[in-house]
Copies of this chain bind each other. A is one copy, B any other.
C-alpha cells in the first residue's frame, strides 16, 4: 500500500509506503542485489557480468508510475492522492567495495550524463513536478545496501525544501534583480575563507550559513537550472570538483565519510531564466571523528538548526586537505 496524505499542519504531502518495511537490509556481499550477476551465482538486479553505470526501478518504491489507488479516503482537510512518480536506483560501479570517491573522472562524467538524461526523461512523465537525485552514504545515514549507489525520486509535487528555495530565490530577484545563488557564490568567493575547491567555474564552499558542521555546497558559475544545460567543460569541472570534495571528506577523519548528497535542480517546467540555480549540497553527519550531529528537538520539533562548529574553521580544515596527489590528478586526466 502506498499513497500521499496531506499534512495540513505543515502544508506538505507525506508519502505512506508500507511495503518498504521488508526491504533488503544490509545483505552480506555474496547476496548483494546491486552486484553483477555472477555465473552460477544467485540472480541480482543486474543480469550482466559487467556494467558501467546502471539505472533501474527501485524494487521497494515509495513512488511509482502506476500507483495503487489510495487505501483510505481523504477529506477536504486531509486529501489523499496516488503515490505517483518514480524511484530509481543508480548503481555507480560493478565493484561492491569502495565509494563514489573511487570513481575515475571518466566514470563521474558518465554518471553526470546519466543523471542529466534521467532528469530529462522523468521530467517528461505526466504529473512529475520535481526530479530529485541524491545519495545516502553510510550505515549511520540508514543505508540498507553497502554497494556504491545513489537514488532518483520523481515527485508529483515540488518538495518542501525546494519550494522554500524557490520562494527565497523569487523574493531575492524581486528585491535585487539578481540570482540568489549567483550572489551567494560571489560573496563566498570575495570572502574566500570558506571556499575549499574551485574548477572550471564550479565553486565548493562550506557556506557561511551551514547547518551541518562539514556541509559543502557546489555551485556552477554560470546561471543554469538543470544538469542538462551544462557544457562539456562544465561537466568536466563538476566531475573534478566532486572528486576533490569527496577525497577531502575521506581524508578528514581517515575513514570514508558518511553523507547525504542532494542535487538541487530547478522544478520541472522552469528554465534557466527563472530564479533557481543548480547546486549540490552535501551533509555529513559527523561533527567530530567520533561524534555525530543528531536532528533532535530543536531541529525536528522546531526546525531551528544548531551548528556546533564555525564554518570558517571547518572550511579551513577541508581546504587544507590535498584533494589528491598530483600524480593521481594527472593519471585521472
Which residues of A come within 8 Å of B, CB atoms? 1, 5-18, 20-21, 25, 62, 71-72, 75, 77-78, 130, 132, 134-136, 141-143, 151, 153, 155, 157, 159-165, 167-168, 171-172, 180-181, 183-184, 187, 207-211, 260-262, 264, 281, 283, 287-288, 291-298, 300-313
Contacts and interface: CB of A to CB of B under 8 A. Distances in A.
A304 B160 CA distance: 7
A4 to B, nearest CB: 10
Contact of A168 (B10, B18, B162): B10
Contacts of A187: 75, 77-78
| Nearest 6 A/B pairs, CB to CB | A142-B294, A262-B301, A160-B303, A134-B297, A161-B303, A159-B302
20 contacts: A8-B180, A9-B168, A9-B180, A10-B168, A11-B167, A14-B210, A14-B306, A15-B298, A15-B304, A15-B306, A17-B307, A20-B308, A75-B187, A77-B187, A142-B292, A143-B296, A160-B302, A161-B301, A262-B301, A283-B301
B159 A12 contact: no
Contacts of A292: 142
Contact of A141 (B9, B296, B304): B296
Contacts of A12: 303-305
Contact of A17 (B9, B78, B134, B306): B306
B308 A262 contact: no
Given A9-B180, A180-B8, A159 B303 contact: yes
B209 A8 contact: yes
Contacts of A15: 298, 304-307
Given A209-B6, A295-B295, A262 B300 contact: yes
A162 B299 CA distance: 11
Given A9-B180, A310-B1, A301 B281 contact: yes
Given A9-B168, A21-B287, A78-B208, A14 B305 contact: yes
Given A9-B207, A16-B307, A283-B300, 15 more contacts: A7-B211, A8-B184, A8-B209, A12-B304, A13-B304, A15-B304, A17-B306, A21-B308, A77-B183, A132-B302, A141-B294, A142-B293, A142-B294, A151-B297, A160-B303
Nearest to A290: B25
Contacts of A260: 296-297, 300-301
Nearest to A20: B308
